[in-house]
Structure 1
Amino acid sequence: MRYSTLSGIAVLATIVVNGVIAVPAVAGNGNGISVPCGTTALINAIATAPAGSTLVLARHCTYHLTTAYAGDDGLPPIDRQLTIEGRGSTIVRDGLTAGAFRIFHVTSTGDLRLDDITIRGGNVPTAGGGILVDSSGTLKLNKATLDNNTAGIEGGGVDVEAGATAYISRGEFTFNNAGGGDGGGLESDGTVTADGVVFSNNFANAGGAIGHESGDAVFRNTTLKNNTSGLDGGGIDSVRDTVQFINSKIINNTTSGTQGGGIWNAGSLKLIKTEVAGNVVGGSGGEGGGIYEDAGTLVLQDSQVDRNSANGAGNSRAGGIYNTGGTVTLDHSKVNNNASTTAPGGVWTDTQFTVNRSEIRHNIPTNCAGGPVIVTGCVG
């Protein structure tokens, strides 16, 4: 539902928002409320738009935020249903002059949709550097870019709290940071559905691209590439509950720690037609260049773990998969061409895998030999 509620008198009037005299947004011709290219106009539009409104930003405008609206929030909190059509615009916190604040905060009663927009430079000491979604809140991102946002604890780009919901399509998460905690690009603790999203060059202590501590998440046609972590899970760190990757790629991620160059998992993880390749665990004694499985459930279906490595000093092993106490199923999948400093190069496991028409080959220095349990069908 769209509203055009501002009268001609209101269009010409000025109002006070947070002590600033601002020209209000103007009603569009049935296509939403037009927001001129100015920060005060943007703040005013968000603060005053009725529930169900669509705000149409100035095409390719950059809206600069220099002060927080309130607390840690750069813009008025979203406490109702609101759509913002960016039309290629950018909302940025001016880092050289501004204090620390995030860009958007979706409250428990909020429902925010962002289309064709870039969110850049948010910075908070807590959670959600770019966007924070409170429990029961809803976020929808379409063709959105989260770039160079920082959170001190979790969710450098976006933090979806437990009980919140997020839908993300055709977007990018780039160069976001959660160096003190989890989820450099995205902290996924609620219900998250993503399709056609790229996470690249993000950093966190755990889960360079994605940190997942609770809830259910499904990632389709999603790529995690060139992300890094300081402790574990260069691509993703999944602690509990369920995560699925379908038709996706987890490639060229790195941890300087000791567990999981691409993936660290202790929950229920399913990979369907997904590639885990070129990931590196680089710490001394590192384990699981592609995947580190820690007493959770891991299913690979029509997937491959290929060309990953555990190349740190000492007893670095299992360039492909390292499993301690987990339940692992290989179904029409391959664990090939992985490498580690010491054997085995392919798979180290202390529990037997369930294997269905799968292979573990061409890993160095060995495929499975050197581990406490040799996976069924694995030779050398």
Structure 2
Amino acid sequence: MGQSNMAFGLAARDATGVLSPFSFPLRLSLSLSLSRPARMFLVTLLAKGDDDITLKILYCGICHSDLSTIKNEWRNAIYPVVPGHEIVGVITEAGRNVQKFRVGDKAGVGYFISSCLSCDDCKQDSENYCPQLVPTFNSSHPDGTPTYGGFSNKLVVNEHFAVRIPTKLPVDKVAPLLCAGIAVYNPLKEHGLSEPGKHLGVVGLGGLGHLAVKFSKAFGVKVTVISTSPDKEKEATEKLGADSFIVSRDPEQMKAAMGTMDGILDTIAADHSLMPLFALLKTRGKLIALGGMTKPTEISLFPIMAGGKIMAGSIIGGVKGTQDMLSFAEEHNITAEVEVIGMDDVNTAMERLQKGDVRFRFVIDVANTIRLSYKIQNLGEQNNVV
């Protein structure tokens, strides 16, 4: 593996969440000119092993969790933060033990880049629930080395945690499937809500919600979108193919839909009451939380008990499930609706994402814009990183 062992990418320095350029050899000094709120970091990649692949990152989707992390909304930010976990790239190097991939293959990396591979969850292809899970960014490897995400030009990862990218689908529109796609696909399969003829409610029509509609319709499921915004009805039904639409603020519409749904995927992260959603479920219906509200919410148990209803949570999926999801997406031509942006546009995109101004996912064209972004080309050539 003879390529440079350095990478550069956008990073946030503090809770302002501003991303801007600065580069330096991370392992040499952490005290070089750190006065600006965020930096373009020249990060030292992990030493490459025999089971590792090196990705030249082509595209990276922007997930709402990227925004939450760089702004420290969850109080867990480890600055500097290089976000991004919807990563599609081309393999430029492969260790001698690598079997899944060859140099030149396109591969993807999602929410995590390591797990123990020996616990019960890992053995059941549910690495996403491993107690020793290492997220793709804002975490650290067992040796203490920080993890940095896909807002950068390179990534080194053990081949086990990478997936093959379908050849028949546009790679920019595939990137969001590595988080948003598997986040909805996994609970649909795991909770028996992908069976044809089932009736599914999808709360929220954002990055996760629009993919929940697409996957569910491909499964042959009846889909009702539930939203606070009446103006999303046409988009939900005519563009995405939902069967019906409910305005959750309309008591009459909510009443008419009571007891009609086998399951609900709640994709909303903003604080909201869950009890009106439970009322929409049939007996033994399932409410699956995907959005991750930050504040506790009150639940009245008696209506849930009386209907034998179930609440569960779900977070992304394992490597095998992600690969299965991509194969299904290729078979049914499922991709995300995206707005492709350059590295120079990331801060503006984050501001728009904060306001909900995106239909439906931002994707960064990393490979074609990072060398131009902030005049990084000359800086990169000086540091031998390109």
Give the TM interval when normalised to the shorter protein.
under 0.3
TM-score if structure 2 supplies the norm length?
0.27
Q: Which has the higher contact order (CA 8 A, sep 6+)?
A: 2
TM-score if structure 1 supplies the norm length?
0.27
**Bigger-Rg structure (1/2):** 1
Question: If each structure's strand is expressed as a fraction of its own residues, which one has the higher value?
Answer: 1
Question: If each structure's helix is expressed as a fraction of its own residues, which one has the higher value?
Answer: 2
